[in-house]
Structure 1
Amino acid sequence: MSQPIVAFESVYGSTRQYASELAARCGVEAVSFDEAQARLSADPQAPLVVLSPVHGPMNAGAKFITDTDLGDRRVALCTVGMTLDDVAVKKDGSARALGNKADRVTRFYLSGRLNYSELSTAHRTTMWTVVNMLKAKPMKNANDKMMIETFDTDVDRVDLTRLDEVVAWANG
């Protein structure tokens, strides 16, 4: 059985942390999307695990998968974000982002880290706008309340034990 290919993109570091840990547990190296392309060609049977943060509607991992010829390999997408777990699973934004490939991609959601102290000015401004819109919203759900309460606070919800099921899938 081929070893899995662990490909990732990270903006602020939590996705890189997950990818590095997953790769270590699988006995491989975590690689960029560009490097993953070469590895996919070299081993058409290797399972592919893609890790990517989600920023609003953008999921670079889903785009990588939709833009890539996957052949018959098994594929998983691990989306890293700050949305509460039950909301992320229920909305399943990764399925929408994957389009017609969604049915053949196993999807995982991993809680990330959002350190306001490290945000770019543009990202911080976007978060300020989102939070102020949520404050004006009459019926706030638990995720809305969490975003309001944690605004301008460094929050780390990375939990490497969440990788256990991804490792089981990768070795599956």
Structure 2
Amino acid sequence: MSDFIVAFESAYGSTQQYAEALAKRFGVKALSLDQARAELVGKTDARVVVLSFVHGPLNPGAKFIVDTELSGHRVALCTVGMTLDDVAQKKDGVAKSLGRKADQVTRFYLPGRLNYSELSTAHRSTMWTIVNMLKAKPFKNDNEKMMIDTFDKDVDRVDLSNLDAVEKWARS
């Protein structure tokens, strides 16, 4: 059977929580993106699952996939964020970030955790600006309403059962 490599980049912990839970299912250790890059040297048929947070256009996992030679490997990217699940799946925002590799990467979207009590000053200021801009909009979609309603609150939407689909993909 192929090797499983679970790689992640986490900003506030929910992506790491998912990565460690998935790695445990495969009997491997969750690796940082740099560790995974080194682990891939010499391997030709690994199942590579990359988990990454998304902050606006920033998705370190997508960048890792674009910048890393992954020929011969089955690759999935799990993006962890606060966008409502159906909106994230429909929008598939990471496809553009993957560029020419988008068709070679299976994509999953996982609900995350956003604890305002733990945010950096810069991230908190950015969220304040976004939410105030959204408040000024005359018509808001459900995702925008959720952002306004949850502003300055600790919200945990992590659901490890969402890893079932990722595991099924990796083992198939």
Compute the TM-score of the two structures, normalised by the length of structure 2: 0.98
Matches of 2:47 and 2:39 in 1, distance apart? 11
Task: Give per-residue Cα distances to partners, 1:23-52, cap 9 Å, x unaligned.
Answer: 000111000111101111132211110000
Are positions 1:66 and 2:66 aligned together?
yes
**Matched residue, 2:114:** 114
Amino acid at match of 2:4: P
**Matched residue, 1:88:** 88
Q: 1:9 offset after TM fit, Å? A: 0.4
1:119-130 superposed matches below 5 A: 119-130=119-130
1:13-92 superposed matches below 5 A: 13-92=13-92
RMSD: 0.7
Matches of 1:65 and 1:31 in 2, distance apart? 14
**Matched residue, 1:104:** 104
Task: Give per-residue Cα distances to partners, 1:95-147, cap 9 Å, x unaligned.
Answer: 11101100010000000000000000000000000000000111100000000
**Matched residue, 1:153:** 153
Unaligned runs of 5+ in 1: none
Compute the TM-score of the two structures, normalised by the length of structure 1: 0.98
Aligned residues: 172
Amino acid at match of 1:148: I
1:58 aligns to what SS in structure 2?
A: coil
Q: Percent identity?
A: 71
Q: Which moved more, 1:106-115 or 1:88-97?
A: 88-97
Q: 1:90 offset after TM fit, Å? A: 1.1
Amino acid at match of 2:168: A
Matches of 1:59 and 1:164 in 2, distance apart? 22
Q: Residues 2 and 43 of structure 1 are in contact (CA less than 8 Å); yes or no, is this contact kept in structure 2?
A: no
Q: 1:75 offset after TM fit, Å? A: 0.3
